[in-house]
Amino acid sequence: MVNISEGEERVEMKKKIVTFVGCQEVGKSSIISQIVYKVFPQTFHSELKDVCTYHRDDTLFEFRYTAPTEKNMSKHKMGESHLIIYVYAWDDPRSYRWIQKYLHLHPKGIPSLLVCNKIDLMGELGEIFLCNNHFGQERIYTSAKESKNISLLFDKIQSMETNDLAIQNKSCCVIL
Ligand SMILES: Nc1nc2c(ncn2[C@@H]2O[C@H](COP(=O)(O)OP(=O)(O)OP(=O)(O)O)[C@@H](O)[C@H]2O)c(=O)[nH]1
Ligand SMILES: [Mg+2]
């Protein structure tokens, strides 16, 4: 942090691009909404576009989300992410198998997390879907609806080491 002049402080901001990859309706937008707005949207969150930014401490998080397809998983699309979060829904085994199918396209060197969302449905539906973790990375169980483990997930997102891209993408912010 460098003082420029009285009343003006220049702060080096890091930028972290976090891409959520998951099938339709697994809860990607709801998780992002819980992180950024602390609400579970009852209807479509119009403020939540394809890209959503969130400033916390010295980091500007850019949350993106996309469906797992060959095109979306291409190096061109994913290569600039600092962190990739794979999301599936507890009540939808297909959503797990779908991300598993494209895992081989995961760009090398980019850290990732596996998120199993909608765990609030466990009580209602019982253990209908217990899957192994083929991904090898850490798995976090969340409920965007009940805000369970959302702060744990964000703590992970915040603390995970990212590669050198983070340095190249550094941006600046002037606080007056
Ligand atoms: N029970 C339960 N429902 C959830 C949870 N998270 C999301 N939902 C619901 O699941 C549906 C899809 O949620 P979204 O957040 O829109 O899912 P998405 O992955 O962004 O979906 P797309 O943008 O269509 O790909 C909505 O009806 C949400 O209310 C959760 O943790 N528990
Ligand atoms: Mg969405």
CATH assignment at residue 79: 3.40.50.300
The domain in which residue 126 lies consists of 13-175
pLDDT of residue 114: 93
**134: pLDDT confidence band, cut at 50, 70 and 90?**
low
Give tens-digit pLDDT for 43-96.
Answer: 655 555 667 899 999 999 999 999 988 888 887 778 889 999 999 999 998 999
Ion ligand 2: residues, Cβ under 5 Å: 29
Please report whether residue 166 resides in a domain: yes
Query: Helix 150-159 and helix 28-37: axis angle, to 10°?
Result: 80
Percent of the chain with pLDDT over 70: 74
138 vs 34, residue with greater confidence: 34
In angstroms, the CA 79 to CA 93 distance is 27
Q: How far is the CA of 118 from the centre of ligand 1 (A)?
A: 8
Q: Looking at the CA of 26, which ligand is closest?
A: 1
**Is residue 2 in some structural domain?**
no
56: tokens are 């916390």
Q: 137 is written with which tokens?
A: 């990375």
Residue 3 lies in a domain: no
CA of 59 to the centre of ligand 1 (A): 27
Is 4 among the domain residues? Answer: no
Residue 62 inside a domain? The answer is: yes
| Structural domains counted in the chain | 1
What is the 8-class DSSP label of residue 106? S
Q: Which residue has the tokens 């606080």?
A: 175
**Most confidently predicted of 38-47, 58-67, 163-172:** 58-67
Any domain includes 5: no
